[in-house]
A and B are shown apart, each in its own frame.
Chain A
């Protein structure tokens, strides 16, 4: 029991251990406490009554038969309490363990907050641990690579500037076979919205851009995409703890929208990107809310359907189930709109329990999937709870409006042999909307 029994080899952490000394860790920890944390951390740590009520909240803990070292408070005990007790004077090995817990055994999904009578934000405490690890270069290799990518090219996937516009033009070409006058507008100023996606879309899931363009085209939207960096709304630096880079990425994203003088930003189906723009990055930059209104595509699709701009030609029979992505449900309250959209698309929707704000995380979010192959098993085994939940619905299709969730759910569906398909809302809307010829 405890992190020492489950250490995983990671090149980033191994290098981190070599470079650090207890003195340097202590110095950085003290500076972090002095400079960045305050009453929030202090009250959380002091006020926690060690009641353990949060244990049944966490999918890692549930999936490991209640192993206390996976409980939210158990993770805090193994990291922050010990760091505070020792004034940060810990061995590099200990800090590597902290990194493994904070980066790979917590999705920052905020479910435990629904269980803690005192409203203690364990995800925040884990974020502070990550921040310390990041400052000391003790980050898992793969997630650090995404942060480097953000830093160098302002997107998460090392997509070069010309590759970005090439991908868009390629998708426009493809789509014109189906919709002859479709455009993917680039750099059009003063339109209704800028559409922003995460870097894995041009890189791996280009058809999603095609589908979005088809939907916007059909709905007669006035929109654009930027041709410059700032198009990527994802922000892995937020999860790696490199807040300086997180802020830079967010600033570019907002400034790109401002330069294009759009009325708002519509974001693709990604939860963590939404968290960065809506909840975290904006605050780091000093905006109470966001300087350009942002809307997640769940809400945007809901508007299109509600205003009759998109009509569904054939409603599908289903049955399907809905996966609630933490960052747009607990993070933005889109559970009702998500349901309205899914019910507009399918006749038979089977709900999972618990759902809505009380949903179980996909176990990919919070940067965990970005920690890469070494930790893949951690998040699969750590989310047996979700697999059981999916299985209990007895359906074959899951609607999950979030990229991270797709990644996480695909892995558990494969591992636990659930035989299910996962779809984005865009997939289903694109496939079933009325086309101009039919309209």
Chain B
């Protein structure tokens, strides 16, 4: 187990981050060149001003019609995404690890706070799962990939929580936590999690069309 742990925090972590960063860049580059080749007439409508304006409105909870008319989902979505991104970056244990291995140091969030944030991510995943199951529309359009993707996000946070609260054998939990986190990183560029990479662009394009061509809002 010790060796697996060492391998997971060492070479495998490097590998996972490499796949995540390079994969994301490669996908962006490929998509951009495809857009340039096939969608050039539409790319030419892209506008920083209107793209950012649209993103801005959608980054505000209840700042758009879509958010307003799906209130519960809106609250959960915002909490989920904020915690999902902020928690791992400012978690004490992660920063300690970074310091240990690479000498990188920066402020952290209090452990009690990150603990709650982790629980919120886990709870949000359960909410999404319930929604996938009970909401008619969502069930109608859900495929296996959506369940896998949800599990891939759920696992690192659930195992992290267990590890932190010392449930189960600590080393096994920590190893599972790291492995599942790496799985998530690797999955981002190649599954529906890629909305993390492409979402801003689709939003910016819609914003540009609505703002620049249609002189209307899209929120």
- A residues lining the B interface (CB < 8 Å): 1, 36-40, 42-44, 46-57, 61, 66-69, 71, 73-74, 77, 113-121, 279, 283, 286, 288, 329-333, 335, 354, 357-358
A38-B35, A50-B192, A53-B73 given as contacts; is B206 within 8 A of A68 (CB)? no
Q: Is the CB of A49 within 8 A of B195?
A: yes
Complex interface residues of chain B between 23 and 39 (CB less than 8 A to chain A): 31-32, 34-35, 37-39
- Which residues of chain A are within 8 angstroms of B73 by Cβ–Cβ distance? 51, 53
The 4 closest A-B pairs by CB, nearest first: A38-B38, A333-B215, A119-B206, A39-B35
- Do A66 and B140 have beta carbons less than 8 Å apart? no
The answer to whether B140 touches A77 (Cβ under 8 A) is yes
Q: Report Cα–Cα, A39/B37, bound state, in Å.
A: 9
Query: Contact between B216 and A332 (Cβ–Cβ < 8 Å)?
Result: yes
- B39 x A38 contact (CB < 8 A): yes
CB <8 Å contact, B214 and A286: no
Q: Is the CB of A50 within 8 A of B215?
A: no
With a cutoff of 8 Å between Cβ atoms, the chain A residues found around residue B195 in the complex are 46-49, 118
Q: Is the CB of A118 within 8 A of B140?
A: no
Digitize B198-209: 1 where CB-to-A-CB distance is under 8 Å, 0 elsewhere. 110111111100
Which residues of chain B have C-beta atoms less than 8 A from A42's C-beta? 31, 34
Q: Report the minimal beta-carbon distance from A332 to chain B, rounded to whole angstroms.
A: 6
A115 touching B69, Cβ below 8 Å: yes
Contact with A along B26-55 (1 / 0, CB 8 A): 000001101101110110110000000010
Query: Please, which residues of chain A bring their CB within 8 A of the CB of B39?
Result: 38-40
> Is B167 in contact with chain A by the CB < 8 A criterion?
no
On whether A47 and B34 interact (CB within 8 A), knowing A68-B139, A357-B216, the answer reads no
Which chain B residues border A279 with CB–CB below 8 Å?
213-214
Q: Which residues of B contact A51 (CB under 8 A)?
A: 73, 138
Residues of B within 8 A of A329 (CB): 216
* Interface pairs (24), CB distance under 8 Å: A39-B32, A40-B39, A42-B31, A44-B202, A46-B194, A47-B194, A48-B192, A48-B195, A50-B143, A52-B135, A67-B136, A68-B136, A71-B137, A113-B210, A114-B66, A117-B77, A117-B199, A118-B199, A286-B41, A330-B216, A332-B216, A333-B214, A333-B216, A357-B216
Bound Cα distance A1, B141 (Å): 13
State the main secondary structure of chain B at its contact with A.
Answer: helix
User: With A114-B64, A332-B215 in contact, is A46–B70 under 8 Å at CB?
Assistant: no
Contacts of B216 in A (CB 8 A): 329-333, 335, 357
- A interface footprint on B93-135 (CB within 8 Å = 1, 0 otherwise): 0000000000000000000000000000000000000010001
- What is the CA–CA distance of A124 and B175 in the complex, to the nearest angstrom? 45
Contact residues in B for A57 (Cβ distance below 8 Å):
65-66, 69
CA distance A55 to B140 in the complex (A): 11
CB-defined contacts of A48 to chain B, threshold 8 Å: 192, 195
CB pair B214 A114 closer than 8 Å = no
Chain B residues whose CB sits within 8 angstroms of the CB of A335 once the complex forms: 216
Docked Cα-Cα span, A37 to B136, in Å, equals 31
Q: How far is the CB of A413 from chain B (nearest CB, A)?
A: 26
Chain A residues within 8 Å of B35, by CB: 38-40
- List of B residues within 8 angstroms of A47 by Cβ: 192, 194-195, 198-199, 202
Residues 165-203 of B contacting A (Cβ, < 8 Å): 192, 194-195, 198-199, 201-203
- Complex Cα gap A10–B57 (Å): 44
Are B41 and A52 closer than 8 Å at their CB atoms? no
Query: Which chain A residues lie closer than 8 Å to B219 at the CB level?
Result: 114
Docked Cα-Cα span, A37 to B35, in Å, equals 9
B67 on interface, CB distance cutoff 8 Å: yes
Residues of A within 8 A of B199 (CB): 47, 117-119
A38-B37, A40-B39, A74-B137 known; A46 and B214 CB under 8 Å? no
A376 to B77, CA, bound (A): 39
Q: Which residue of B lies closest to A66 (CB)?
A: B136
Residues A39 and B141 in contact, CB atoms below 8 Å apart: no
Could you tell me the distance in whole angstroms from the C-beta of B124 to the nearest C-beta in chain A? 13
CA distance A187 to B31 in the complex (A): 49
**For the complex, what is the distance from the CA of A175 to the CA of B123, rounded to whole Å?**
71
B58 at the interface (CB under 8 A from A): yes
- In the complex, which residue of chain A has the Cβ closest to the Cβ of B31? A39
Q: A117-B66, A117-B77 are in contact. Are A46 and B140 (CB under 8 A)?
A: no
Contact B206 A113 (CB under 8 A): yes
Q: Which residues of A contact B42 (CB under 8 A)?
A: 40, 283
Asked whether A43 and B141 contact (CB < 8 A) given A51-B73, A114-B219, the answer is no
B202 contact from A50, A67, A120, Cβ within 8 A:
A120
Smallest CB separation, A111 vs chain B (Å)? 9
